[in-house]
Amino acid sequence: MNAKNLIISIIIGLVIFALGGVCGFFYQQQREVPQIETQNAQDNSASKILSSKIISSIMASAEVSDIVGKNITLKSGDDSLIIKISDDALIHSFVVPANGKTPVRQTAKFEDIKKGDFINIKIKELSDKQIVGGVVTISLAQTVPTK
């Protein structure tokens, strides 16, 4: 095959490639884009979802910045949230065993929660729009020593 035929073949290939791209572009423009149903958009408000019996709880995780009575203020950056902890809340913490292995979960008391602790709280919105915490986990503050 001489150079002239090779160049002509390459040009024909590029033209076919370009035509395929143009056809594909126009094909995509003509397709119908499926529309998202918005009929029940108001039924799916955050308030309704959080108070649903299907959702048992969601998690709030941040550093404790204040404790007043049974109200814990969580803070993360510029965001803060006050959560009332229910009287029957389960409270857990993690401790490192003496052997320095995997931390072990233990039952704790509300009084064990301190400012600066990083905690996870399972929260639920009640029917009266109040948020209440039912399970609190105090994260491990210290690191496991390395050898």
Q: Which helix (H) or strand (E) holds 3?
A: helix 3-30
User: In the prediction, which pLDDT does 50 show?
Assistant: 63
d(CA 147, CA 137): 28
User: In the prediction, which pLDDT does 122 show?
Assistant: 92
Residue in 58, 42, 39 with CA at minimum distance from that of residue 50: 58
User: In the prediction, which pLDDT does 120 show?
Assistant: 93
Delineate the domains of the chain, giving CATH numbers in brackets.
56-138 (2.40.50.140)
Q: Which residues of 66-94 are buried (b: 16+ CB within 10 A; e: fewer)?
A: ebeeeebbbeeeeeeeebbbeeebebebb
pTM (2 d.p.): 0.59
DSSP class per residue in 15-39: HHHHHHHHHHHHHHHHSPPPPPP-T
User: In the prediction, which pLDDT does 51 show?
Assistant: 64
pLDDT (tens digit, 0 to 9) for every residue of the chain, 147 residues total? 688 888 888 899 888 888 888 877 777 766 665 555 544 444 556 666 666 677 767 889 999 999 999 999 999 989 999 999 999 999 999 888 778 778 888 899 999 999 999 999 998 877 787 889 989 999 875 443 343
User: In the prediction, which pLDDT does 145 show?
Assistant: 39
d(CA 57, CA 119): 16
